[in-house]
Amino acid sequence: MFSFFWSWTYNYIRLLVKWFLRKTTGLCELQRICYGEEIGAPRTLGVEKSLHLSRNTSIQSLITYLNSMSEQCRIVGEMEKEILKHSILTVLQAKKINPTIHNRFGFSFGLCVRLIWGYKQMYHEIENLRTTQYSSENLEHEAKLLQLWRLLRPDEELENRISKQWQDIGFQGDDPKTDFRGMGILGLENLLYFSTEYPDVAKHVLSHSLHPTYGYAFAIVGINITSLAYRLMVEGDLRTHIYNYNYSKSTPTIKHFHQFYCYLFYEFDKYWIESKPANIMDFSRILQEFETNIRSALTNLSTVFKINVAVDNI
C-alpha cells in the first residue's frame, strides 16, 4: 500500500514539475536533458529514464518498436539510419518541437537512442551466445577451442583433443567443454577475443596464473570474469561505461562487451597479484572485492574503462 502511494505521489509531483518547467522554459523534459546534461552517460541515462516514464502514446509505441528492432538485432547499417530518423521524427511530433529552431535536439536525441537500443541489442547478441552450450560435435566450436590453445601455447603441440594439457591453460579437467556450462559459448568467445586481440597481454596474464605462489586457473578465472561482465550488463551498471565510450563513436556491439571483458581480466590479474593471496581459497573474497570496486567506479557517471597495458616481471 505504501509503495503504491509513494509511486502515485512521485508521478503526480513529477507531472507538475514537468508542466511548470515546460511553461517557464518553453522546453520539454527531453530537450532540457539534451541541452543541459553532459554528453555520454549523464545525458543518455536521463533520456532513457524520461522516455520510459512518458505517458505519451506515440512515445510508448516508439519504445515498443525500438525494443522489437533491438531484439531482432536489426539496428545496423541503413536500417539503423531509418530507425533513428523515425525515432527523432516521432518525438519531434509528439513533443511539438520545431526542428528548425531546435536543430541541435534531433542530433543529440538520435545519439542517445542509438546508445540505449544499441545496448539492448548488444544484450540480445550476448544472451544468444550465453545460452548456446558448447558442443564437441560443432566443428566451429571445436575449431575455436583449438585456436585458443594455439594462441596461448604456440610452441607446444596439443597431443590429443582430450588431454591433461588443457589444465596448463587453466581448465579443470581433460575436456574443456565441461567448464563452459555456466556461460555457454560466450566464455570461449571472451577468452578467444582476449587471446587474439591482446596476445602478448593474454600470455603474460597466463604466466601469472602459473606463478608458484600466486597462481590460479587461467581459463576458469576467465569464465568467472565473463560471468561478472554479464551480470554488470544485465543489471545495467555497464551502461555508464558503454554510454561514455560509444557516445561519439559507434553503436554498441558485442565487440565492446569483449573489450570490457579484456579490461576486467587484465585488471583482475593485477588486483589478484597485488592482493598477495595466501592460496586459491582467497579467490571468492578477492573477486568480490574486485567486483565491488568496479561497481563503485560505475556509479560515477563519467567513468570509462580503457586497457592500459603495462607488462611486468612478476
Domain chopping of the chain, boundaries: 2-120, 139-298
Going by C-beta distance under 8 Å and a sequence separation of 6 or more, which residues neighbour residue 259?
Answer: 197, 307
CB 114 within 8 A of CB 251: yes
pLDDT tens digits along 78-122: 999 999 999 999 999 999 999 888 889 999 999 999 999 999 999
Phi, psi (deg, nearest 5) at residue 238: -65, -15
How far apart CA 126 and CA 17 sit, in angstroms, is 39
Are 148 and 191 a contacting pair, CB within 8 Å? yes
User: Among 129, 116, 118, which residue's Cα sits nearest to residue 75?
Assistant: 118
> Which triple of cell numbers denotes residue 28?
520539454
Buried b (16+ CB within 10 A) or exposed e, 172-202: eeeebbebbeebbbbbbbbbbbbbeebeebb
* Angle, alpha carbons 242-304-28 (nearest 5°): 60
For the chain, how many residues are written? 314
> How far is CA 13 from each of CA 7, 10, 115, 183, 298, rounded to the nearest angstrom?
10, 5, 29, 44, 29
d(CA 206, CA 208): 5
Successive 10-residue mean pLDDT values, the chain, 314 residues: 48 45 68 95 98 96 98 96 97 94 92 97 98 97 98 95 96 96 97 97 95 95 98 98 92 96 97 93 96 98 85 47
* pLDDT the model gives residue 21: 45
Picking from 245, 236, 254, 258, the residue whose alpha carbon sits closest to that of residue 121 is 254
Report the C-alpha dihedral over residues 293, 298, 299, 300, rounded to 10 degrees: 110
Q: What contacts 109, CB < 8 A, 6 or more positions away?
A: 30, 34, 47, 87, 88, 91
pTM (2 decimals)?
Answer: 0.90
What pLDDT is recorded for position 101? 87
Burial class (CB in 10 A: 0-12, 13-18, 19+), 308: exposed
Which grid coordinates belong to 149?
Answer: 590453445
Closest CA to 184 of 261, 129, 126: 129
As a whole number of angstroms, the distance between CA 53 and CA 62 comes to 13
- Which of these, 73, 78, 18, 49, lies nearest to 243 by C-alpha position? 49
How high is the pLDDT of residue 16? Answer: 44
Is the Cα torsion angle 265, 268, 273, 277 positive or negative in sign?
A: negative
Read off the amino acid at residue 309: V
Query: Which alpha helices (DSSP H) does 131-217 contain, by range?
Result: 139-152, 185-197, 199-209
Report the Cα 255 to chain-centroid distance in Å.
9
